[in-house]
C-alpha cells in the first residue's frame, strides 16, 4: 500500500510530509529544499516551470509567472478580495463563464485549480522520487476561513494532479495535530500563523475527537515579506544618508544587500547585534565605497514594531470579539497557543504573543513545516499507521543492576521503547566467590540504595575462581506488556536463575515524577558519591593486581622495586579508606606507574636470558 | 485489550475467522514495522552521507559572501596596483580551500541560453547577445556536490535597442 502524502499547499511556499516508522517526516524536493515555492511559469520557449525554477525567472517573465494563486482559488470574480488583488497581480486575470476567475499564462487561460494542480503535481513527483514508489492519495490543508467553494476547488486541484484527496484539512487543525493536541478535551487553542504573505489567526476548540473552528481572523496582505522589505528600505535609506549613494539602482549591490539583510535578520533571532559587512559595494569619484552597518535587535524591533502590534490587535479581536467577528472568549480562556510560519522565529513576536496570553506559545516544531507535519499525521491516522493500538510504551525509569560498591549500573535506560532486551556479562568481585546477588532496581540515582528495589535473587554454584574470571551473563527483557524478566547465567556451568517482575512501565505518575525530581535534586551530590565509589573500586582492583604481581614476580624483580611498590601499595590502602576521590585517584595512578616497572624488569630478564642454541 | 473491544464469538467458525483476521492484522503490522525499520536504516545511511557532504552548507554559504566581496574588491583595484596580485592570491586560496569541501563555481558565459536550474534572472539588459540569453553575469553561482546552493545571478539580454 502506498503512503498518503500530507501537503501544506501554501500561498507562498508548499511542503509535504509522510509518516515513516510512526513518525512524520518532511520530504525534500528535487532541488534539495524542504519547501517548494508555490509558483508556476511558462518561459519564452513554451516550457513549463514549477517551484524554485519558476521563481528564478519571475523577474524577467512576470506576465507568465503565476504566484499567490491560493488568493484566487474557488473565489467569485465579484469577491472584493479578487477586485483588490487584480490591481497588483502582475499577470492577467479575468472573469470566467461561470463567474469564477481565470488566469492567463502564455496565451492560454487556466482555472486557478489547474495552476494549483501544477504545484501539487511537482510535490507528487518529488515525493515519489524520494520515497521510491507511486503516491496516489493525499491530505491537503487549507486556511480555516476557506468556504465550501474554495475547499472544493482545492480538492479539484488535488484530483487534477492525480491524487485521490482523502481529506481537506484546516491548517490550524493540522498545526494542533502536529503538537498532539487533538486528544486534549475541551481545550481552546489559538493558532498564530505568520506566513510569507499572509497572517492568519484561528481559534479552535477541541471536543470529543473533534476540532471545531470557533473563529478566524488576520490580514491576508501582511506577512514576513513585509518585514524583509522594511529592513531593506531602512538600510538603503541609511546608506543614502551616510554616503549619498542609492543602492536600489545597482542590481549587484541590491542583491548583496538582500542576502546580507536576510542573514542579519536570521542572526538577530539568536543574537542582539548583527553586522552587515559588504566591502566594495559601490564606488564614487573618490574611490570604492563599503557598506558596514550594525543592526541591533532593538532597532529591528522598532522598525517592524507596528506590524507586530497590528498583528496582536488582530489576535485580540479574533479571540474576544463576539461571534461572528470573533470567538467571544476572554484571553484567559485560551489554553494553548501555537506559532506557525517562519516569521514567528522572531523573538519579539514570541514575546508579544506570550505577553498577550500570559503563557509560553508552542514552538518546538519547525514553524515552516508544522502544517505539513500535521497533514502527514492526519494521513497516518487515515492509513492506520497512527493507531492507538500500535503506540508502544516506554520504560519511564532506568532499570539497573547493583555492582561493586553499591553502584546502580543501568541495563535499560529510561524512555527506551518496549519490547526490548539487553544482555551484559558481569563477573565476581572477590576470589573464590561462589555466588552472586542480582539486585534489580529502578530509578535515576547512581547509587542503588537511593533507587527503588524491584527484586533480588542469588545465583550460586559458581566454581571457585580468581575474581574477574567467572562470566555471569545477565539478561533484562521487557515484553510488550511491560513485564520485566531478569535472568542470570553462569557461562561455565550453565546454571541459571531468573525472576519475573510485572508492570514496570505502569508506575503511577506521581511516583515517576517523585523519583525523577529526586534524581535531579541530588544530581551533583550523587555524581560525587559515584566518583568516590569508582575511585575506590579502581584502587581495590589495582591493589589486587599489585599484590598478585609482587607474589608472581618472586625474585625476578629487584628488592628495590619491590620495596617501592610496597610503599605505594600501603599508601593506597591507607588513602582508600578516606573519602577523598582525588587523593585515591592520585595514589592509584602512582602505584600503577610503579607497577609497570615489574613488567619492564620481567621483559629485560627475558632478553638477558642466554639462548638455548 | 482487544478482547474487551470485540468479544470473541462463541461460534467456533466465526471465532476462527475473527482470529484469522486478527492474525492477519498483526502480521501486517509486524511486516510494516520491519519494513519501516529496514527503510529507516537505509535512509539513515543516506542521511549520514548527505550530512557529511552538506553538514557545513551554511558555513560555506556564508563564506560565498566573502568571495563576493573579493570579486567586488578586485574589480575596484587598478590592474597595475601591486596589491592586486596579493588579493588575487588570497581569493584563490579561499576558493581552493572551498573546492576541497565540494564547492564548485558554476561556469556561464554571455550568450548562453538561460537555464533556471543553475541561474536566477535578476533583470534585463541591452546587449549584443541574442534576446533571452545571458547578457551579463551579476554575481557568481556555486554548487556543493552538484546541489546548487546559490544560482548564478544574471541579467538576460533583450537585444540591442
Domain of residue B120, CATH code: 2.30.22.10
Give the Cβ contact number of residue A402 at 10 Å. 20
Cα A144 from Cα A170, distance rounded (Å): 5
Query: Where residue A154 falls among pLDDT bands split at 50, 70, 90?
Result: very high
Contact assessment for residue A111 and residue A100, using Cβ atoms and an 8 Å cutoff: yes
Contact assessment for residue B119 and residue B154, using Cβ atoms and an 8 Å cutoff: yes
Instruction: Please judge whether A56 and B156 are an interchain contact, meaning their C-beta atoms are less than 8 angstroms apart.
Output: no
Side-chain-side CA neighbours of A486 within 13 Å: the count stands at 24
| Domain match, B8 and B79 both | no
Interface pTM (ipTM) of the complex? 0.73
For residue B52, pLDDT over 90 is answered with: no
- For residue A196, the model assigns a pLDDT of 86
| Domain match, B12 and B91 both | no
Look at residue B80 and give its three-state secondary structure: coil
Cα B150 from Cα A263, distance rounded (Å): 14
| Domain match, B68 and B108 both | yes
Query: Where residue A385 falls among pLDDT bands split at 50, 70, 90?
Result: low
| Domain match, B50 and B61 both | no
Please state whether A528 falls in left (phi above 0), alpha (psi between -120 and 50) or beta: alpha
In 3D space, the residue among A431, A427, A409, A405 whose CA is nearest the CA of residue A545 turns out to be: A431
| CATH code, residues A524-608 | 1.20.1270.10
Q: Which residues in A lie closer than 8 A to residue B123 (C-beta atoms)?
A: 59-60, 251
For residue A611, pLDDT over 60 is answered with: no
Instruction: Please judge whether A20 and B36 are an interchain contact, meaning their C-beta atoms are less than 8 angstroms apart.
Output: yes
Q: Which of A504-508, A602-606, B102-106 has the highest mean pLDDT?
A: B102-106
How many independent structural domains does chain B possess?
A: 2
Cα A71 from Cα A86, distance rounded (Å): 10
- For residue B7, the model assigns a pLDDT of 55
CA A502 vs CA A410, A473, A481, A485, A506: distances in Å: 19, 22, 9, 9, 9
Range scoring the smallest mean pLDDT among A66-70, A140-144, A212-216: A212-216
Is the model more confident about A77 or about A513? A77
Partner B, chain A 360-389, Cβ-Cβ below 8 Å? 385, 389
Closest-CA distance of chain A to residue B65, Å: 8
Cell readout for B47 is 542521511
- Segment A18-39 shows an average pLDDT of 90
The H-or-E segment that residue B15 falls in is helix B12-54
Please provide the DSSP assignment of A106-134 as one string. TTEEEEHHHHHHHHHHHHHHHHHHHHTS-
Cα A565 from Cα A543, distance rounded (Å): 10
For residue A41, pLDDT over 90 is answered with: yes
A336-340 and A187-194 beta bridge pairing:
parallel
| Domain match, B87 and B130 both | yes
Question: Are A4-74+110-179 and A399-521 in the same CATH fold?
Answer: no
- Segment A526-549 shows an average pLDDT of 85
Cell readout for A236 is 538603503
Contact assessment for residue A397 and residue A507, using Cβ atoms and an 8 Å cutoff: yes
Tell which of B54, B81, B97 closes a domain: B54
Tell me the per-residue pLDDT of A336-352, one tens digit each, with 9 for 90 and over.
999 999 999 999 999 99
- Whether residue B21 lies within 8 A of chain A, CB to CB, comes out as no
- For residue A547, the model assigns a pLDDT of 85
- For residue A363, the model assigns a pLDDT of 84
- Segment A8-22 shows an average pLDDT of 92
- For residue B4, the model assigns a pLDDT of 46
Cα B118 from Cα B147, distance rounded (Å): 10
- For residue A213, the model assigns a pLDDT of 87
Superfamily of domain A399-521: Substrate Binding Domain Of DNAk; Chain A, domain 1 (2.60.34.10)
Residue at grid coordinates 511559469: A41
For residue A21, pLDDT over 80 is answered with: no
Query: Where residue B1 falls among pLDDT bands split at 50, 70, 90?
Result: very low
Q: Which residues in A lie closer than 8 A to residue B84 (C-beta atoms)?
A: none
For residue A580, pLDDT over 90 is answered with: no
Cell readout for A52 is 524554485
- For residue A387, the model assigns a pLDDT of 52
Query: Where residue A613 falls among pLDDT bands split at 50, 70, 90?
Result: very low
A365 DSSP 8-state letter: S
Contact assessment for residue A394 and residue A418, using Cβ atoms and an 8 Å cutoff: yes
Helix, strand, coil percentages for chain A (3-state, nearest 5)? 45, 25, 30
Residue at grid coordinates 582525588: A582
| Domain match, B37 and B65 both | no
What end-to-end distance do the CA atoms of chain B give, in Å? 81
* Active-site residue identified among A85, A102, A113, A193: A193
The H-or-E segment that residue A212 falls in is strand A211-219
Tell me the per-residue pLDDT of A389-410, one tens digit each, with 9 for 90 and over.
444 566 778 899 999 888 899 9
Query: Where residue A27 falls among pLDDT bands split at 50, 70, 90?
Result: very high
Cα A419 from Cα A413, distance rounded (Å): 13
| Domain match, B36 and B107 both | no
In 3D space, the residue among A295, A302, A308 whose CA is nearest the CA of residue A350 turns out to be: A308
A4-8 and A137-142 beta bridge pairing:
parallel
What class, spelled out in words, does domain A4-74+110-179 have in CATH?
Answer: alpha beta
Nearest CA in chain B to A31: B147
- For residue A576, the model assigns a pLDDT of 85
| Domain match, B83 and B136 both | yes
CA A80 vs CA A83, A87, A92, A248, B41: distances in Å: 5, 12, 17, 33, 52
Closest-CA distance of chain A to residue B34, Å: 9
For residue B2, pLDDT over 60 is answered with: no
Query: Where residue A474 falls among pLDDT bands split at 50, 70, 90?
Result: very high
How many residues does this entry show for chain A?
A: 613
For residue A333, pLDDT over 70 is answered with: yes
Q: Rounded to 5 degrees, what angle do the CA atoms A29, A33, A34 make?
A: 80
| Domain match, B47 and B82 both | no
Cell readout for B66 is 566573502
Q: Mention every residue, 6+ apart, whose C-beta is less than 8 A from residue A386.
A: A19, A22, A377, A380
* Active-site residue identified among A3, A55, A70, A414: A70
User: How much of chain A, in percent, has pLDDT values that exceed 90?
Assistant: 48
- Segment A522-544 shows an average pLDDT of 84
| Domain match, B81 and B141 both | yes
Superfamily of domain A225-264+274-296: ATPase, substrate binding domain, subdomain 4 (3.90.640.10)
Q: Which residues in B lie closer than 8 A to residue A31 (C-beta atoms)?
A: 147-148
The H-or-E segment that residue A110 falls in is strand A108-111
The distance between the two most distant Cα atoms of chain B, rounded to a whole number of Å, is 101
For residue A532, pLDDT over 90 is answered with: no
For residue B158, pLDDT over 60 is answered with: yes
Q: Which of A57-61, A190-194, A280-284, A581-585 has the highest mean pLDDT?
A: A190-194
The distance between the two most distant Cα atoms of chain A, rounded to a whole number of Å, is 112
- Segment A120-142 shows an average pLDDT of 94
Cα A172 from Cα A176, distance rounded (Å): 6
Cα A275 from Cα A253, distance rounded (Å): 17
Q: What burial class does residue A503 get, using C-beta atoms within 10 Å of its C-beta: 0-12 exposed, 13-18 middle, 19+ buried?
A: exposed
Q: Mention every residue, 6+ apart, whose C-beta is less than 8 A from residue A278.
A: A253, A256, A257, A260, A290, A291, A292, B65, B68, B69
Q: Where are the domains of chain A?
A: 4-74+110-179, 225-264+274-296, 399-521, 524-608
For residue A607, pLDDT over 60 is answered with: no
Is the model more confident about A533 or about A474? A474
| Domain match, B43 and B100 both | no
Question: What are residue A437's DSSP bridge partners?
Answer: A458
Contact assessment for residue A178 and residue A24, using Cβ atoms and an 8 Å cutoff: yes
Side-chain-side CA neighbours of A254 within 13 Å: the count stands at 13
Is the model more confident about A509 or about B28? B28
- Segment A25-51 shows an average pLDDT of 93
Tell me the per-residue pLDDT of A284-332, one tens digit each, with 9 for 90 and over.
888 888 999 999 999 999 999 999 999 999 999 999 998 778 899 999 9
Q: What is the 3-state secondary structure (H, E, C) of A312-352?
A: HHHHHHHHHCCCCCCCCCCHHHCCEEEEECHHHHCHHHHHH
| Domain match, B78 and B116 both | yes
The H-or-E segment that residue B57 falls in is helix B57-76
Instruction: Please judge whether B72 and A281 are an interchain contact, meaning their C-beta atoms are less than 8 angstroms apart.
Output: yes
- For residue A506, the model assigns a pLDDT of 52
Q: Check if A171 is active-site.
A: yes
Cell readout for B28 is 501486517
Instruction: Please judge whether A22 and B36 are an interchain contact, meaning their C-beta atoms are less than 8 angstroms apart.
Output: yes
Question: Crossing angle, helix A251-267 and helix A224-243, to 10 degrees?
Answer: 120
Q: Which domain holds residue B88?
A: 57-157
In 3D space, the residue among A466, A468, A478, A455 whose CA is nearest the CA of residue A431 turns out to be: A466
For residue A508, pLDDT over 70 is answered with: no
Amino acid at each position: 500500500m502506498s503512503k498518503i502524502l500530507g501537503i501544506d499547499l501554501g500561498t507562498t511556499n508548499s511542503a509535504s510530509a509522510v509518516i515513516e516508522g510512526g513518525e512524520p517526516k518532511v520530504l525534500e524536493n528535487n532541488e534539495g529544499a524542504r519547501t517548494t515555492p508555490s509558483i508556476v511559469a511558462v518561459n519564452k520557449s513554451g516550457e513549463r516551470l514549477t517551484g524554485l525554477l519558476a521563481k528564478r525567472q519571475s523577474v524577467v517573465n512576470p506576465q507568465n509567472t503565476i504566484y499567490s494563486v491560493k488568493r484566487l482559488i474557488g473565489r467569485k470574480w465579484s469577491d472584493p478580495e479578487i477586485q483588490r488583488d487584480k490591481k497588483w497581480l502582475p499577470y492577467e486575470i479575468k472573469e470566467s463563464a461561470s463567474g469564477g476567475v481565470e488566469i492567463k499564462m502564455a496565451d492560454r487561460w487556466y482555472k486557478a485549480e489547474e495552476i494549483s494542480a501544477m504545484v501539487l503535481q511537482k510535490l507528487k513527483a518529488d515525493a515519489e522520487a524520494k520515497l521510491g514508489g507511486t503516491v496516489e492519495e493525499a491530505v491537503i490543508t487549507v486556511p480555516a476561513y476557506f468556504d465550501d467553494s474554495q475547499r472544493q476547488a482545492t480538492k479539484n486541484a488535488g484530483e487534477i494532479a492525480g491524487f485521490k484527496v482523502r481529506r481537506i484539512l484546516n491548517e490550524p487543525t493540522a498545526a494542533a495535530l502536529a503538537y498532539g493536541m487533538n486528544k486534549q478535551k475541551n481545550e481552546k487553542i489559538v493558532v498564530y500563523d505568520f506566513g510569507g504573505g499572509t497572517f492568519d489567526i484561528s481559534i479552535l476548540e477541541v471536543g470529543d475527537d473533534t476540532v471545531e473552528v470557533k473563529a478566524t481572523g488576520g490580514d491576508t496582505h501582511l506577512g514576513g515579506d513585509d518585514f524583509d522589505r522594511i529592513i531593506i528600505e531602512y538600510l538603503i535609506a541609511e546608506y543614502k544618508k551616510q554616503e549619498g549613494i542609492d543602492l536600489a539602482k545597482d542590481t549587484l549591490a541590491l542583491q548583496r544587500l538582500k542576502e546580507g539583510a536576510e542573514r542579519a535578520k536570521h542572526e538577530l533571532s539568536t543574537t542582539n547585534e548583527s553586522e552587515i559587512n559588504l566591502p566594495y559595494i559601490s564606488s564614487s569619484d573618490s574611490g570604492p565605497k563599503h557598506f558596514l552597518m550594525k543592526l541591533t535587535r532593538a532597532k529591528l524591533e522598532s522598525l517592524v514594531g507596528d506590524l507586530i502590534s497590528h498583528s496582536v490587535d488582530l489576535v485580540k479581536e479574533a479571540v474576544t470579539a463576539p461571534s461572528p467577528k470573533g470567538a467571544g472568549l476572554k484571553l484567559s480562556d485560551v489554553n494553548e497557543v501555537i506559532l506557525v510560519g517562519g516569521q514567528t522565529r522572531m523573538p519579539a513576536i514570541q514575546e508579544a504573543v506570550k505577553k498577550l496570553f500570559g503563557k509560553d506559545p508552542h514552538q518546538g516544531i519547525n514553524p515552516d513545516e508544522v502544517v505539513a507535519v500535521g497533514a502527514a499525521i492526519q494521513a497516518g491516522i487515515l492509513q492506520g499507521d497512527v493507531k492507538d493500538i500500535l503506540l508502544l510504551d516506554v520504560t519511564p525509569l532506568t532499570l539497573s543492576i547493583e555492582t561493586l560498591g553499591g553502584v546502580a549500573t543501568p541495563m535499560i535506560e529510561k524512555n527506551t521503547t518496549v519490547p526490548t532486551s539487553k544482555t551484559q556479562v558481569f563477573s565476581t568481585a572477590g576470589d573464590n566467590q561462589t555466588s552472586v546477588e542480582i539486585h534489580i532496581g529502578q530509578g535515576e540515582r547512581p547509587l542503588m540504595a537511593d533507587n527503588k528495589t524491584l527484586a533480588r535473587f542469588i545465583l550460586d554454584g559458581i566454581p571457585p575462581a580468581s575474581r574477574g574470571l567467572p562470566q555471569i551473563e545477565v539478561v533484562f527483557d521487557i515484553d510488550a506488556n511491560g513485564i520485566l524478566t531478569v535472568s542470570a547465567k553462569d557461562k561455565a556451568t550453565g546454571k541459571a536463575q531468573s525472576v519475573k517482575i510485572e508492570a514496570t512501565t505502569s508506575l503511577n505518575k506521581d511516583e515517576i515524577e517523585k523519583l525523577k525530581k529526586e534524581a535531579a535534586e541530588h544530581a551533583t551530590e550523587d555524581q560525587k558519591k559515584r566518583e568516590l565509589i569508582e575511585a575506590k573500586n579502581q584502587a581495590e582492583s589495582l591493589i589486587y593486581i599489585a599484590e598478585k604481581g609482587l607474589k608472581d614476580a618472586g625474585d625476578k624483580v629487584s628488592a628495590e622495586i619491590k620495596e617501592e611498590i610496597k610503599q605505594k601499595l600501603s599508601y593506597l590502602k591507607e588513602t582508600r579508606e578516606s573519602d577523598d576521590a582525588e587523593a585515591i585517584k592520585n595514589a592509584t595512578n602512582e602505584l600503577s606507574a610503579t607497577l609497570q616497572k615489574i613488567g619492564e624488569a620481567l621483559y629485560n630478564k627475558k632478553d638477558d636470558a642466554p639462548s638455548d642454541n | 485489550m482487544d478482547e474487551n473491544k470485540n468479544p470473541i464469538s462463541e461460534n467456533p467458525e466465526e471465532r476462527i475467522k475473527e482470529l484469522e483476521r486478527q492474525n492477519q492484522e498483526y502480521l501486517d503490522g509486524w511486516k510494516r514495522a520491519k519494513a519501516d525499520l529496514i527503510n529507516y536504516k537505509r535512509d539513515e545511511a543516506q542521511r549520514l552521507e548527505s550530512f557529511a557532504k552538506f553538514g557545513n552548507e551554511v558555513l560555506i554559504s556564508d563564506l560565498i559572501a566573502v568571495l563576493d566581496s573579493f570579486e567586488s574588491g578586485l574589480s575596484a583595484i587598478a590592474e597595475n596596483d601591486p596589491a592586486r596580485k596579493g588579493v588575487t592570491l588570497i581569493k584563490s586560496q579561499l576558493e581552493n580551500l572551498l573546492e576541497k569541501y565540494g564547492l564548485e563555481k558554476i561556469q556561464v558565459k554571455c550568450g548562453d541560453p538561460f537555464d533556471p536550474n543553475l541561474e536566477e534572472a535578476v533583470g534585463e539588459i541591452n546587449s549584443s547577445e541574442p534576446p533571452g540569453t545571458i547578457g551579463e553575469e551579476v554575481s557568481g553561482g556555486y554548487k556543493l556536490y552538484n546541489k546548487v546552493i546559490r544560482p548564478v545571478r544574471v541579467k538576460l539580454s533583450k537585444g540591442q535597442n
